[in-house]
Amino acid sequence: MNEATFEFCKSVIYMIYCNDQTIRDCYIGSSKDFVTRQRVHKYRSSKGDSTYKTYPVYNFIFLNGGWDNFSIKILEYYPCRSKDDLLNREEHWYNIIKPTLNKYVPRRTRLIYNRMYRIKNKDKIKKHKHEYHKRKQLQKKKNAPSKPIKTEKPLNPVQVIDKNITLDFQ
């Protein structure tokens, strides 16, 4: 067995769900080290501060009774050769169960998320760009001088201070 295969030989696909059967929200994940991953989920869901607030699963667990009100179930033991294989299998389960607490879809890249955002928010982005360019034009008009600034003529070496007195600086 090569090293990559050995590293992923204990991989699993798992689901986190609420013990209250009226709550249908769940999370699907995968890990090559399930015990450590479970510990991480428990720790992060116990943090009530803003540390992990961007992760829907941790906020949801925290707001719905904490880790003690949730269970984690192994859906499948999946020994595989690589992380790519594991994510493919996680995506399979993701598409079957359709979890609501996953922040990211398995195997979806940042590029795909960016494209989806631009498609979904096309009108909003167009409006924002229009407002941005409008502000820039107003700012240019505001900062541009309305009339050329008149500069005084340079002083001559001889300057009249008083009609009766002249000074010569040469």
66: left (phi over 0), alpha (psi -120 to 50) or beta: left
**3-103, what's its fold?**
GIY-YIG endonuclease (3.40.1440)
Nearest to 4 by CA among 68, 77, 86, 66: 86
**How confident is the prediction along the chain (170 residues), in pLDDT tens digits per residue?**
555 578 899 999 999 999 999 999 999 999 999 999 999 999 888 876 667 778 889 989 988 999 999 999 999 999 999 999 999 999 999 999 999 999 888 876 777 767 877 888 889 888 888 888 888 888 877 777 666 666 666 555 555 555 555 555 55
Give 19's DSSP letter: S
For residue 138, the model assigns a pLDDT of 82
- On whether the CB atoms of residues 94 and 106 are closer than 8 A, the answer is yes
pTM as predicted: 0.64
pLDDT for res 145 = 66
Strand residue runs (E) in the chain? 12-18, 26-31, 70-77, 158-162, 165-168
Please report, for the chain, the start and end positions of each structural domain, with discontinuous segments joined by +: 3-103, 108-138
